């Protein structure tokens, strides 16, 4: 299963491509409170820095899931608050969790990966792999580039 949160569509493009290539189901996390505009992003960055969560409308049924990809944008070096809510409230014990993280630049990818795995610490989940992809945030999401990145980096095919 691929669980994702996407504010502008970049992480959605990666999540949907990953799910299609792996033949997995997707589940989109939707915040209960709408986050829009510049102030929505600033608020999200503040919540990310302070490791706060943002309540989501629904959680997926993970009873039959053994491996999961969580896809999140990186805001201010941390995972999105909706993703933190999912991690804190979903039944992840025994599930292998991998991360696909999208951000403006990958210069601090070790910091981004650590932030994601630190969020798992009290869940009983098994830490899998983490992948970081740079997305040009000012342009439209590009599923062709996302698919190419996933094939090469995660699946190991050209």
- Residues with Cβ within 8 Å of 141's Cβ and at least 6 positions away in sequence, in order, are 8, 9, 10, 12, 13, 135
Lowest mean pLDDT among 60-64, 74-78, 101-105: 74-78
**pLDDT value at 46 more than 60:** no
**pLDDT value at 39 more than 80:** no
Average pLDDT, the chain: 88
- 41 CB neighbour count, 10 Å cutoff: 16
Choose among 43, 57, 42, 52: nearest CA to 5: 57
pLDDT digits (tens, 9 = 90+) for 83-92: 999 999 999 9
pLDDT digits (tens, 9 = 90+) for 117-131: 999 998 999 999 999
Supply 75's token pair: 């805001």
More confident residue, 62 or 47: 62
Residue 68 pLDDT grade (very low, low, confident, very high; cuts 50, 70, 90): very high
- 5 CB neighbour count, 10 Å cutoff: 26
Over residues 24-36, mean pLDDT = 87
Q: What domains appear along the chain, each with residue ranges and CATH number?
A: 2-154 (3.40.50.360)
């Amino acid at each position: 299963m691929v669980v994702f949160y996407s504010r502008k569509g970049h992480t959605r493009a990666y999540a949907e491509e990953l799910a299609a290539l792996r033949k997995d189901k997707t589940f989109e996390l939707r915040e209960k409170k709408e986050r829009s505009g510049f102030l929505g992003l600033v608020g999200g960055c503040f919540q990310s820095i302070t490791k706060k969560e943002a309540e989501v409308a629904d959680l997926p049924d993970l009873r039959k899931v053994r491996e999961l990809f969580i896809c999140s944008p990186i805001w201010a070096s941390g995972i999105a608050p909706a993703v933190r809510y999912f991690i804190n409230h979903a039944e992840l014990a025994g599930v292998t969790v991998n991360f696909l993280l999208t951000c403006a630049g990958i210069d601090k990818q070790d910091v981004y990966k650590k932030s994601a795995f630190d969020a798992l610490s009290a869940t009983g989940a098994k830490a899998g792999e983490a992948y970081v992809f740079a997305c040009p945030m000012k342009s439209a999401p590009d599923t062709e580039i996302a698919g190419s990145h996933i094939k090469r980096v995660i699946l190991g095919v050209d």
